Amino acid sequence: MNPAVRIRPARWTDKNAVAALIADALHPTPLAAWLVPDPAQRRQVLTDVLGIWVEHAMFFGDIHLTDDHTAAIVGFHRYRPIPPPAQYRIRLTDAAAGHASRFDLLDSLMSLKQPTEPHYHLAFLAVRTDNQNAGRGTAMLTHHRSRLDRIDLPAWATVPSGGEDLLTRYGYTPRPAIALPDGPTLHPMRRNAHRDSGSAMPINPARPVDNRWQGFHV
């Protein structure tokens, strides 16, 4: 881990900053355009919907971020099925500004692939655009891998096209893809439970891992 990158658990007061960080990373992607076709609404809708899930992770998962708020990682502890966020239907309708049906469809398609066994769900990883290729993505995923090995649970993530190679370096393997109707393809990935982190593929320092990657949990 890059010693200059300090990672800490998020506090309640960080939740808005974390949602904005992930929305900023997601905003220019094909997935964001599919979820919110209206570019004038896109950033605000993403920030508001992500705010619901970041808050939910405070209760049913964990959030870690760098001290300078330039990178964050969000996950859920799915030891058993977890409930939706409080008043989710009302809150999603308000936050999505007419685009709730796209979020609902994404939810349905991802739920079909989600494991039923106990697992850790890596929902989001984002690095701020002007801080990429500075070791933050490497630090966050190395920290993530070490925590996974301590709890000895399998892990699950869904990444956009191009993100598979990144998680492969941390022990994840691809599963059948999700093709969104008239939209991008998403790639579920699984990491088996094990305590020996040395079995994961080594990081090649010549290949940067800080290109922003973001999952989407709904």
pLDDT-derived band of residue 19, with 50, 70 and 90 as boundaries? very high
* pLDDT, mean of residues 94-105: 96
Are the C-beta atoms of residues 154 and 169 closer than 8 Å to each other?
no
pLDDT-derived band of residue 126, with 50, 70 and 90 as boundaries? very high
- Three-state secondary structure call for residue 204: coil
Helices (H), 12-134: 15-26, 30-35, 39-60, 88-96, 100-113
Q: What are the angstrom distances between the C-alpha of 17 and each of 21, 96, 123, 126, 180?
A: 6, 19, 17, 12, 29
Task: Check residue 178 and give its pLDDT.
Answer: 95
CA distance linking residue 31 with residue 2, whole number of Å: 30
CA distance linking residue 132 with residue 73, whole number of Å: 15
Q: What is the pLDDT of residues 26-42, one digit of tens each?
A: 999 999 999 999 999 99
84-98, 119-133, 201-215: segment of lowest average pLDDT:
201-215
Cα 74 from chain centre: 6
Task: Check residue 191 and give its pLDDT.
Answer: 95
Task: Check residue 193 and give its pLDDT.
Answer: 87
Q: What is the pTM of this model?
A: 0.86
Evaluate if residue 199 carries a pLDDT over 60. Answer: no
Q: What percent of the chain lies above the pLDDT cut of 90?
A: 67
Please report how the helices 39-60 and 88-96 are oriented relative to each other, as an axis angle in degrees rounded to 10.
150
Task: Check residue 128 and give its pLDDT.
Answer: 84
